[in-house]
Amino acid sequence: MDAAALVPCTIHINGDSRTCAITPATTLLEALRYELRLTGSKQGCDKGDCGACTVLVDGVPTLSCLTLALACDGRAVTTVEGLAEKGVPHPLQDAFDRTGGAQCGFCTPGMLMSAYALLQRESAPSRDEISHALSGNLCRCTGYTKILDAVELAAAELRERAK
Amino acid sequence: MLTLPVFAWSRPKTVDEAMRVLAASPGECLIVAGGTDAVPNLKHRLHEPKRLVHLGGIEELRGIRVTDAGLEVGALVTLTELAAHPYVREHYAGVADAAEHVASPQIRNMGTVGGNLCLDTRCTYYNQTFFWREALGFCLKKDGTRCHVVPQGKRCVAAHSSDVAPVWIALGAQVEIATPGADGASGAVTRRLLPVEAFFVGDGVHNNVLVPGELVTRVLVPASSLGVRTAYRKLRPRAAIDFPMLSVAVAARGDASRIEALRVVVSALGAKPRTLGGLDAIAVGKPHDAALAEAVGAVAFKQCHPLSNVPYDTDWRHDMVPVFVKRAAPGALGVDA
């Protein structure tokens, strides 16, 4: 495939199948933000250190700034825009709001996606497990305590709903 | 915002197809699997390939298998999969532990065993943007002629920074490499096996034996290494993400009352991991006690020489060598540290 040629790339994003025309040198983050106008995933360090661009690829937390968009052709991607259902925030989003887990908010989409993946596989994670699952997401505002509180609160809410 | 350079793209579905693509543009391809090392390096213009060969579609490179011959780990196995694999955790705890020590959860979800072995060497003067490197007149490893770590040096001393490789070496693991046939694209692909230790060479510009057109396909741990206990310790600024400023892998047979064999590999020093010499004479047949730990630590201190290729004070990192050897050794001998 030519370097400069635009090629179609179809990604199943948040349940929708979306196609964009990109060059091979396009990251998943660039495709999401600049082609598909999904600006929830943030462009922080852009080299894999900060976690602000974390999305789920086939359910697995992945750094979209280091993922080539064409490698996701035909795969399922979940971004922070996919968490709310019918305009109602996901319990994690609600919990970040209630605990003050989001301050400037720049790290929040990545935090939410890492936390969402954790709660998908573990309904009652320990404080250590939460902290480990979020260890690839940097926050410069909160000191992390409120974020850990938020994930605990959301986990409790989700367990309550499942009863 | 860091943009990628322009490149063409291939996503082969088999090893043979990948080898044909590589053979068609010799020396002009960059092989990418998880992309966690290659993509930031591309963004920094440390690699400028004409074509990217993305291995993600090659199913035959996935999976961990346990056979009579030993453990086979496909090059596309992610570090998360390696760290979580029950057999690996039970028999090769140091391997699982080292994989768990790589960067962050997201990077372990993406990064692969093959990519971790082929990780580019790292240096304060290399892992920077083009603008930063240009301002300093570039360096011996990329675009320049002068080494800023060893100003008179003729050889690049960028640091080998893979966490898992030192444990593979301590264990005596082997790496399988797909090699093009004698006549390039049309020749039959063959596979060669060599000890992981022999995979690395002491030149930071390109610190392994791979020649253009070759591809790492598997890591094999021979069944004869069952019973060897392994442990890994890593010194880094932040426990959540960083590359090592020093790493120590220990593999041992026997137990604390009588050591039958002991191998210690120290890395993040220069371009290849260093296997300590002379340990048999001081450790084999002996119990693991304070005197032995001191003696092994002293050997490590004498043989390891950190450079200013990675951040933080070199004298302090040198002082940490025996400390980390002493911390790692008990884990490989089945005693609590």
pLDDT tens for A99-121 read 999 999 999 999 999 999 999 99
**Region B120-133 average pLDDT:** 96
| Whole-number pLDDT of residue B175 | 98
Mutate to test the interface with B, among A120, A135, A144 (most CBs of B within 10 A): A135
Does residue B309 have a pLDDT over 80? Answer: yes
Does residue A148 have a pLDDT over 60? Answer: yes
Report if residue A23 sits inside a domain. yes
Contacts from A125-133 at CB under 8 Å and sequence distance 24+? A125/A151, A125/A155, A127/A152, A132/B105, A133/B105
H-helix or E-strand containing A62?
strand A60-63
Q: Does B241 touch chain A (CB under 8 A)?
A: yes
Q: Which residues pair with B190 in a beta bridge?
A: B179
Provide the CATH number for the domain around residue A71: 3.10.20.30
Q: Does B244 touch chain A (CB under 8 A)?
A: no
Tokens standing for residue A9: 């790339």
> Which pLDDT tens digit goes with each residue over B11-27?
999 999 999 999 999 89
**Region B156-171 average pLDDT:** 98
Q: Does A105 share its domain with A151?
A: yes
Q: Does A67 sit within 8 Å of B35, measured CB to CB?
A: yes
> Across chain A, what does the average pLDDT equal?
96
- Per residue in B230-244, is it b (16+ CB within 10 Å) or e — as a string? bbbbbbbeeebbbbb
This model's pTM is above 0.95: yes
Q: Does A11 share its domain with A65?
A: yes
| Whole-number pLDDT of residue B181 | 81
**Region B266-275 average pLDDT:** 97
Q: Does A67 share its domain with A101?
A: no
Q: Does A66 sit within 8 Å of B40, measured CB to CB?
A: yes
> Which pLDDT tens digit goes with each residue over A6-52?
999 999 999 999 999 999 999 999 999 999 999 999 999 999 999 99
How many beta carbons lie within 10 A of that of residue B8, not counting itself?
20
Q: Which residues from chain A sit within 8 angstroms of residue B3, using beta carbons?
A: 25
How many beta carbons lie within 10 A of that of residue B66, not counting itself?
14
> Which pLDDT tens digit goes with each residue over B185-201?
556 889 999 999 999 99
The answer to whether the beta carbons of residues B192 and B177 sit under 8 Å apart is yes
Q: Does A28 share its domain with A68?
A: yes
Mutate to test the interface with A, among B106, B119, B236, B243 (most CBs of A within 10 A): B106
The answer to whether the beta carbons of residues A65 and A42 sit under 8 Å apart is no
**Region A45-69 average pLDDT:** 98
Report if residue A119 sits inside a domain. yes
Q: Does A26 share its domain with A76?
A: yes
The answer to whether the beta carbons of residues B253 and B228 sit under 8 Å apart is yes
Q: Does A155 share its domain with A95?
A: yes
Query: For chain A, how many structural domains are there in total?
Result: 2
Q: Which of A24, A54, A82 corresponds to the end of one domain?
A: A82
Q: Does A18 share its domain with A77?
A: yes
Q: Does A42 share its domain with A103?
A: no
Report if residue A2 sits inside a domain. no
Report if residue A12 sits inside a domain. yes
In chain A, whose CA is at the least distance from the CA of B32? A68
Q: How far is CA B255 from the centre of its chain?
A: 27
- The per-residue DSSP string of B58-106 comes to -GGG--EEEETTEEEEETT-BHHHHHH-HHHHHH-HHHHHHHHTSS-HH
Q: Which of A82, A103, A126 corresponds to the end of one domain?
A: A82
Q: Does A77 share its domain with A20?
A: yes
For residue B160, give the DSSP letter. Answer: P
Report if residue A1 sits inside a domain. no
Q: Does A1 sit within 8 Å of B105, measured CB to CB?
A: no
Distance (Å) from the alpha carbon of B178 to chain A's nearest alpha carbon: 23
Q: Distance between CA B24 and CA B103 in Å, rounded?
A: 34
Q: Distance between CA B149 and CA B157 in Å, rounded?
A: 8
Going by C-alpha positions, the residue among B276, B262, B280 that lies closest to residue B305 is: B276
Report if residue A30 sits inside a domain. yes
Q: Does A111 share its domain with A58?
A: no
- The per-residue DSSP string of B118-154 comes to TPPPB-TTTSS-HHHHHHTT-BTTBB-S--SSSTT-S
> Which pLDDT tens digit goes with each residue over B32-87?
999 999 999 999 999 999 999 999 999 999 999 999 999 999 999 999 999 999 99
Q: Does B129 touch chain A (CB under 8 A)?
A: no
Q: Does A71 touch chain B (CB under 8 A)?
A: yes
Q: Does A60 share its domain with A96?
A: no
> Which pLDDT tens digit goes with each residue over B142-153?
999 999 999 999
Q: Does A4 touch chain B (CB under 8 A)?
A: yes
In whole angstroms, how far apart are CA B23 and each of B29, B44, B49? 9, 26, 14
Report if residue A141 sits inside a domain. yes
B112 confidence band (pLDDT: 50, 70, 90): very high
Q: Does A135 sit within 8 Å of B105, measured CB to CB?
A: yes
In chain B, whose CA is at the least distance from the CA of A2? B8
Smallest Cβ–Cβ distance between A24 and the set B9, B36, B107 belongs to: B9
A1 confidence band (pLDDT: 50, 70, 90): low
H-helix or E-strand containing A82?
none
Which residues neighbour B67 within 8 Å (Cβ) at sequence distance 6 or greater?
none
Phi-psi region of B65 (alpha: psi -120 to 50; beta: other; left: phi over 0): beta
In chain A, whose CA is at the least distance from the CA of B44? A47
| Whole-number pLDDT of residue A5 | 87
Report if residue A24 sits inside a domain. yes
Q: Which residues from chain B sit within 8 angstroms of residue A65, using beta carbons?
A: 39
| Whole-number pLDDT of residue B185 | 56
- The per-residue DSSP string of B176-242 comes to EEEE-BTTBTTSPPEEEEEEHHHHB-S-TTS-B---TT-EEEEEEEEGGGTT-EEEEEEE-S-TTTP
In chain A, whose CA is at the least distance from the CA of B128? A47
Interface of A with B in 35-64 (CB under 8 A): 43, 46-49, 51, 54, 60-63
Q: Does B109 touch chain A (CB under 8 A)?
A: yes
Does residue B184 have a pLDDT over 70? Answer: no
> Across chain B, what does the average pLDDT equal?
95
Q: Which residues pair with A9 in a beta bridge?
A: A20
Q: Which of A82, A109, A143 corresponds to the end of one domain?
A: A82
Q: Does A23 touch chain B (CB under 8 A)?
A: yes
| Whole-number pLDDT of residue A4 | 72
Q: Distance between CA A28 and CA B34 in Å, rounded?
A: 13
Provide the CATH number for the domain around residue A151: 1.10.150.120
Q: Does A78 share its domain with A95?
A: no
Above pLDDT 90, what percent of chain B? 91
Q: Interior CA angle at A22 toward A16 and A27, to 5°? A: 80
Q: Does B4 touch chain A (CB under 8 A)?
A: yes
The answer to whether the beta carbons of residues A137 and A111 sit under 8 Å apart is yes
Taking one residue from A and the other from B, the number of pairs with CB-CB distance under 8 angstroms is 96
- The parent domain of residue A137 ranges over 91-162
B336 confidence band (pLDDT: 50, 70, 90): low
Q: Distance between CA A51 and CA B36 in Å, rounded?
A: 12
The SS3 of residue A95 is: helix
| Whole-number pLDDT of residue B189 | 87
Smallest Cβ–Cβ distance between A49 and the set B4, B44, B241 belongs to: B241
Q: Distance between CA A72 and CA A20 in Å, rounded?
A: 12
